[in-house]
Structure 1
Amino acid sequence: MEVPPLASTEGAYWYLIALILLLALASTLYIVGVMVGSLPDPSGLF
């Protein structure tokens, strides 16, 4: 099953889902980094 082109609605959904998964993965890694202490705690910014 090949990924449909971006021109179609299904293709747009595929790219949107991939983008959301990528953002979720990045934020999870950042939160883990904060918990471990290797990254600055963002709570001081709010």
Structure 2
Amino acid sequence: MSTAMGWKWLFIVLAAAVLMMLTYAWIDGGREPVHAITEPVAVPELPQ
């Protein structure tokens, strides 16, 4: 097998893996809703 053919197959396999991961993340992304942050944060006073 030539080197160019090997690089082509490597690129195809990597692209397919990335597409599968993105598809899984897209489908799985909406299962658990994001909760609001309710912890109070101290805000410094502005000088007058």
- Find the structure with the greater CA-based Rg: 2
TM-score range, shorter chain: 0.5 to 0.7
Structure 1 moving runs of 4+ over 3 Å: none
Aligned CA-pair RMSD:
0.7
Higher relative contact order (CA 8 A, sep 6+): 1
Structure 1 residue runs of 5 or longer lacking an equivalent are 1-6, 38-46
TM-score, length-scaled by structure 2: 0.60
What TM-score comes out, normalization by structure 1 length? 0.63
**Larger proportion of helix:** 1
Whole-angstrom CA distance in 2 between matches of 1:36 and 1:16: 32
Aligned length: 31
Aligned counterparts, 1:1-46, within 5 A: 7-37=1-31
